[in-house]
Amino acid sequence: MSLNQESYLCRKGTPPLLETTIPAHFQSIEKKYSQREAVVSLPQNRRLTYGQLSEEIDRLAKGLMGLGFGRGNRIGIWSTNNIEWLLLQMATARIGAVLVNINPAYKPAELAYALRKSEVQALFVIPGFRVSNYVATLAEVVTELKKSSGQITSTEFPFLQRVVLYDPRSPAETLKPFPGFTVWKEVIASGEALLQSALESVTASLQCHDPINIQYTSGTTGFPKAVVLSHRNILNNAFFTAQAMHFGQKDRLCVSVPFYHCFGMVLANLLCLSVGACIVIPCEHFDAGQVLQAVDQEKCTAIHGVPTMFIAELEHHDFNRYDMSSLRTGIMAGAPCPPSLMTRIIEEMHCRDILIGYGETEASPITHLTTREDSIERRITTVGRNLPHQEVKIVNVADGATVPVGEVGEICFRGYHIMQGYYGDPEATVKAVDEEGWLYSGDLGRMDSEGYVQITGRLKEMIIRGGENIYPREIEEVLITHPDVVEAAVFGVPDDYYGEEIMAWIRLRHQDNVTEDTIREFCRDKMAHFKVPHYIRFVSEFPMTVTGKIQKFRMREIAVAERGNK
């Protein structure tokens, strides 16, 4: 570790980086812990040991090969949390395919964008969840599903070849609503004739720098970017996060965060599998009561979440009925943690070693993490120091020079964890990562003399609401399609529960019959629920610069001041 009076820290650390692939590392873990539980899915009433998990992964991997998929092919998943999600995560890694994570809350236009942007060649999907009917949505987006037979040929999605439907309650018995769907058992059957040696040969040919995952992340302009991550990126990030947590084969992690996020896929699933720990799936989608029940029933030693999740758990009406004494550690990330919440998690949930994490999808995702040895003050006011084998610096926004310790600037990262780039978008990649390999986060912060970083704000306009990354322009582009909306500006305002809430300033053509509720209803049909503006203000004009640019920071100041006076 080196730190001088400049805001720069390089941590070396031990052990050395894992220079291997995810399947190769998993095989070494499976050999050690084949009889230990690897995953427990309470909604599915299923349990798999490491040995059983390995067998299921290989069956699916050979099925994918039997369908013609392999190294570099892009296979998407549009689903809530379940064992099949985990199987696909590991099976795609086993054959070198690239898993594309798609948010289960996406509406048709958002799904279509994700499929096109990543040039998805196969998509795994569940029938639906709650009010979301994924089959109907897919039939609307990929019209060929109604008339194709297994193999799809689509003019709108020229890369898409297969859509695999499975029901988490009974994957092997899923029925086809349309002839164009392939079902889980057909995938498995397609690989039954393949020899195990063929699968082993494919895995042996993989390199740790091969791309293995595409995650969608929000930016300040345009639509979501497709972040390309390698075996080396995410395996090491998971492994060294586990080391920082003192996490091992005897631990059981309650995973209430969604798998489609890096938080769930890397810092939960892969973190557990990298050290032989057990993944406990309490629910398909976050439910505070089911999480509490899972911790009690399965004697979980760790729990992850964003602040809103922990608040919901602590405030649950049956909280005192459940035994939380097995908890020891976990990660809270995605939004600032109020000091009072940290105290309650430690005292009431008995989670004495809860850690605060910080990072971004482009960094695989964790760059900073507090430790159990840190003081409560540091665990509340900072995001800790960077993980081993990572560099961080804070630079002047104007000239890019590294600022002195204690001064605010933009936080930058460099190391094994930096993405390979944005899929299909070299221009955006160059803007995000400079020639020396530094990733510019867009976040503002300061570093103290021991390398601890405090986040002070964001250069980007991105809104983080309850752990969800939301970018204003996409919402604005939906709002201006309303026939009575002339102009719209969207930004985040502070919120005690979600960290931030979405506010929209809207200029109308005619005020008649347009209300806040009609605008929200219009949005609900066109975007995921968490993107719908919570606060709406109708205005006749926006704060502007002399060159005619909208000043969102002024809108935010006005909104905060007005709310403070109420």
Q: Which amino acid does the sequence have at 441?
A: S
Q: Tell me how far apart the alpha carbons of residues 289 and 296 are, in angstroms, rounded to a whole number.
A: 11
- pLDDT computed for residue 2 by the predictor: 46
Q: Which amino acid does the sequence have at 479?
A: L
Q: Select from 10, 6, 11, 9 the least CA-distant residue to 407.
A: 6
**Lowest-pLDDT choice from 195-199, 302-306, 488-492:** 488-492
> Does the pLDDT of residue 456 top 80, yes or no?
no
Per-residue pLDDT, averaged over 410-424, amounts to: 97
Burial of 449 (0-12, 13-18, 19+ CB in 10 A): exposed
> Does the pLDDT of residue 504 top 70, yes or no?
yes
- pLDDT computed for residue 222 by the predictor: 55
3-class DSSP state of 51: helix
> Does the pLDDT of residue 461 top 80, yes or no?
no
Q: Do 489 and 550 meet the contact criterion of CB atoms below 8 Å apart?
A: yes
Q: Do 279 and 90 meet the contact criterion of CB atoms below 8 Å apart?
A: no
> Does the pLDDT of residue 281 top 70, yes or no?
yes
Per-residue pLDDT, averaged over 228-256, amounts to: 98
Q: Do 451 and 9 meet the contact criterion of CB atoms below 8 Å apart?
A: yes
Query: Which pair of structure tokens corresponds to residue 532?
Result: 């719908």
> Does the pLDDT of residue 217 top 90, yes or no?
no
Q: Do 559 and 493 meet the contact criterion of CB atoms below 8 Å apart?
A: yes
Q: Select from 139, 82, 77, 132 the least CA-distant residue to 107.
A: 132
Q: How confident is the model at residue 44 (pLDDT cuts 50, 70, 90)?
A: very high
Residue 433 per-residue DSSP state? B
Place of tokens 């890397």: 266
Q: Indicate the CATH number for domain 22-32+42-209.
A: 3.40.50.980
Place of tokens 């976040």: 443
The domain segmentation of the chain, as residue ranges, is 22-32+42-209, 463-564
Dump the DSSP string for 183-241. EHHHHHHHTTTS-HHHHHHHHHT--TTSEEEEEEE--SSSS-EEEEEEHHHHHHHHHHH
- CA distance between the termini of the chain: 49
Q: Do 306 and 65 meet the contact criterion of CB atoms below 8 Å apart?
A: no
Query: Which pair of structure tokens corresponds to residue 209?
Result: 């720098």
**Which string of b and e fits 61-94 if b means at least 16 CB within 10 Å?**
bbbbbbbebeeebbbbbbbbbbbbbbbbbbbbbb
Element (H, E) at 343: helix 339-348
Q: Tell me how far apart the alpha carbons of residues 156 and 143 are, in angstroms, rounded to a whole number.
A: 9
- pLDDT computed for residue 286 by the predictor: 93
- Give every CB contact of residue 464 below 8 A, 6+ residues apart in sequence: 334, 335, 470, 492, 499, 500
- pLDDT computed for residue 548 by the predictor: 53
Handedness of CA 423, 426, 428, 430 (dihedral sign): positive
Instruction: List the beta bridge partners of residue 132.
Output: 129
- pLDDT computed for residue 549 by the predictor: 61
Place of tokens 């995000």: 432
What are 467-476's pLDDT values in tens digits? 887 878 789 8
> Does the pLDDT of residue 460 top 80, yes or no?
no
What are 46-72's pLDDT values in tens digits? 999 999 999 999 999 999 999 999 999
Instruction: Report the mean per-residue pLDDT for the chain.
Output: 93
Q: Tell me how far apart the alpha carbons of residues 445 and 384 are, in angstroms, rounded to a whole number.
A: 12
Q: Tell me how far apart the alpha carbons of residues 86 and 106 are, in angstroms, rounded to a whole number.
A: 20
Q: Tell me how far apart the alpha carbons of residues 427 and 235 are, in angstroms, rounded to a whole number.
A: 27
What are 99-143's pLDDT values in tens digits? 999 999 899 999 999 999 999 999 999 999 988 899 999 999 999
Per-residue pLDDT, averaged over 512-539, amounts to: 93
364 Cα distance to chain centroid: 10
- pLDDT computed for residue 218 by the predictor: 59
- pLDDT computed for residue 455 by the predictor: 87
Q: Tell me how far apart the alpha carbons of residues 475 and 530 are, in angstroms, rounded to a whole number.
A: 11
Q: Which amino acid does the sequence have at 438?
A: W
Per-residue pLDDT, averaged over 523-546, amounts to: 89
Which CATH superfamily, name and number, covers 463-564? ANL, C-terminal domain (3.30.300.30)
> In this structure, are strands 421-422 and 225-230 parallel, antiparallel, or unpaired?
antiparallel
Q: How confident is the model at residue 397 (pLDDT cuts 50, 70, 90)?
A: confident
What are 30-39's pLDDT values in tens digits? 999 999 999 9
What are 67-89's pLDDT values in tens digits? 999 999 999 999 999 999 999 99
Half-sphere exposure in the Cβ direction for 452 (13 Å, CA): 16
Q: Select from 409, 415, 306, 420 the least CA-distant residue to 362.
A: 420
Q: How confident is the model at residue 260 (pLDDT cuts 50, 70, 90)?
A: very high
- pLDDT computed for residue 546 by the predictor: 47
- pLDDT computed for residue 464 by the predictor: 84
Q: How confident is the model at residue 221 (pLDDT cuts 50, 70, 90)?
A: very low
